[in-house]
Amino acid sequence: MNISGHTKVYGVIGNPIEHSFSPFIHNMLAEETGIDMVYTTFHVKEGQLENAVKGLDGLNIQGINVTVPYKLDIMNHMDEVAPMAKNIGAMNTVVRKDDKLVGYNTDAIGLKMSLDKIDVDLKGQSILIIGAGGAARAVAVMCAEAGAKLIAITNRTLEKAEELAEVISDKYDVETVALPLELVKDGEGLLNESLTIAFQTTSVGMSPNVADSPVGGSTFFKNLDVAVDLIYNPGETKFLRNAKESGAKTINGLGMLYYQAVRAFELWNDMTVSDAINEKCYNAFIRKMSPETI
Ligand code: NAP
């Protein structure tokens, strides 16, 4: 990396932020694409979000990613918010365009890009989402935008699943249903037979609680073709292990993590990262992450 007076500055804001993998991905993409930019972390302490946003203009910072706990609050500081981010109700990328701040959500599109790479098509599919938090909402919007036929949402707190199901069916032309987790858990729910793709979006099974899974035994997985877990640490959760044993194609959260960065990089630089660069960078990212995800 050759940093000069011309080098454009990007970064990610959050609190805490030191653990972020984004600098690794973005600086590698910059190196591979030959774009003269550098990407770092900005620790934005409680109460400092407004000052941080003002600082973008003040310091001529070209764009930022936004992570926990600012993904919702930051929307109040944008001149414009892209429709998909509005529907998700959270954003993770700020683009400075003609002195305007525009907010995007690249988490959902990043997950879609990672599924496209392995030929998982959501169009016309009946999909189960386990969980109803922020990540579930991004997944639900992504599935609706991709043309899913039915989205079933199950959650420990049923009211949150009902709320999310209603938000999605209000905004998109897709059938939605909320199901009690107890009913879905062991595959006893009548709907399970037609649900062939499942997204696990809860934090259950994340390291160090690797023996946990939000759903039960083999009956749940019987009809599943594709199982996606947003967790990437461990690389194979109990949920994914059970799904694999039942013959489903399994995908962890690393692809989403990588491609949300790629999409932000593309928005900032008004370009598309080539398949060859993505393959090289994704493999390097996986190698970097291996100690954390085994
Ligand atoms: P969140 O908004 O706090 O939602 C957490 C969800 O997990 C809720 O549905 C919650 O159910 C459920 N949950 C928590 N503990 C549970 C338990 N013991 N049993 C059953 N359900 C439980 O969090 P989030 O932002 O959606 O993140 C969720 C997961 O997605 C995390 O593991 C995060 O690392 C992962 N994620 C990955 C990526 C990626 O790039 N790969 C991106 C975003 C998030 P209740 O509503 O009942 O509390």
**DSSP labels for 45-63?**
-TT-HHHHHHHHHHTT--E
Report the catalytic residues: 71
Q: What spacing in Å lies between the alpha carbon of 131 and ligand 1's midpoint? A: 6
- Judged against a pLDDT cut of 80, whether residue 200 lies above it is answered with yes
- What integer pLDDT is reported at residue 268 of this predicted model? 98
- Judged against a pLDDT cut of 90, whether residue 261 lies above it is answered with yes
Atom 12 of ligand 1, residue of closest alpha carbon:
202
Ligand 1, atom nearest to 203 Cα: 32
- Judged against a pLDDT cut of 90, whether residue 193 lies above it is answered with no
H-type helices in the chain, by residue range?
22-33, 49-58, 83-88, 107-117, 134-145, 158-171, 181-184, 218-221, 238-245, 254-269, 275-293
Sign of the dihedral defined by the CA atoms of residues 51, 56, 58, 59, in that order: positive
Q: How far apart are CA 140 and CA 129, in angstroms?
A: 7
Report the C-alpha dihedral over residues 161, 106, 75, 62, rounded to 10 degrees.
170
Residue 132 contacts residue 163 (beta carbons within 8 Å):
yes
- Judged against a pLDDT cut of 60, whether residue 192 lies above it is answered with no
Q: What spacing in Å lies between the alpha carbon of 68 and ligand 1's midpoint? A: 13
Average pLDDT over residues 200-204: 97
- What integer pLDDT is reported at residue 22 of this predicted model? 97
Average pLDDT over residues 37-59: 97
pTM: 0.95
Atom 4 of ligand 1, residue of closest alpha carbon:
133
Average pLDDT over residues 261-277: 98
Rounded percentage of the chain residues whose pLDDT exceeds 70: 96
Residues within 6 Å of ligand 1 by CB: 107, 131-136, 155-157, 160, 201-204, 206, 214, 230-232, 253, 256-257, 260
- The confidence band for 186, taking pLDDT boundaries of 50, 70 and 90, is confident
Cα–Cα–Cα angle for 292, 139, 250, rounded to 5 degrees: 50
- Judged against a pLDDT cut of 90, whether residue 54 lies above it is answered with yes
- What integer pLDDT is reported at residue 183 of this predicted model? 84
Q: How far apart are CA 202 and CA 222, in angstroms?
A: 21
Q: What spacing in Å lies between the alpha carbon of 201 and ligand 1's midpoint? A: 5
Q: What spacing in Å lies between the alpha carbon of 215 and ligand 1's midpoint? A: 14
Regarding predicted confidence, which is higher, 281 or 195?
281
Kindly report, residue by residue over 9-28, the tens digit of the pLDDT: 999 999 999 999 999 999 99
Q: How far apart are CA 223 and CA 231, in angstroms?
A: 22
Average pLDDT over residues 144-167: 97
In this structure, what token pair is assigned to residue 257? Answer: 């993590």
Atom 40 of ligand 1, residue of closest alpha carbon:
257
Mean pLDDT of the chain: 94
Rounded percentage of the chain residues whose pLDDT exceeds 90: 87
Residue 258 contacts residue 110 (beta carbons within 8 Å):
yes
Average pLDDT over residues 225-232: 96
User: Which amino acid belongs to residue 10?
Assistant: Y
Pocket-testing residue among 184, 185, 201, 257, ligand 1, by greatest number of atoms within 8 A of Cβ = 201
Ligand 1, atom nearest to 206 Cα: 32
Kindly report, residue by residue over 67-100, the tens digit of the pLDDT: 999 999 999 999 999 999 999 999 999 999 888 9
Q: What spacing in Å lies between the alpha carbon of 200 and ligand 1's midpoint? A: 9
Average pLDDT over residues 281-292: 89
Q: Is 209 helix (H, G, I), strand (E, B) or coil?
A: coil
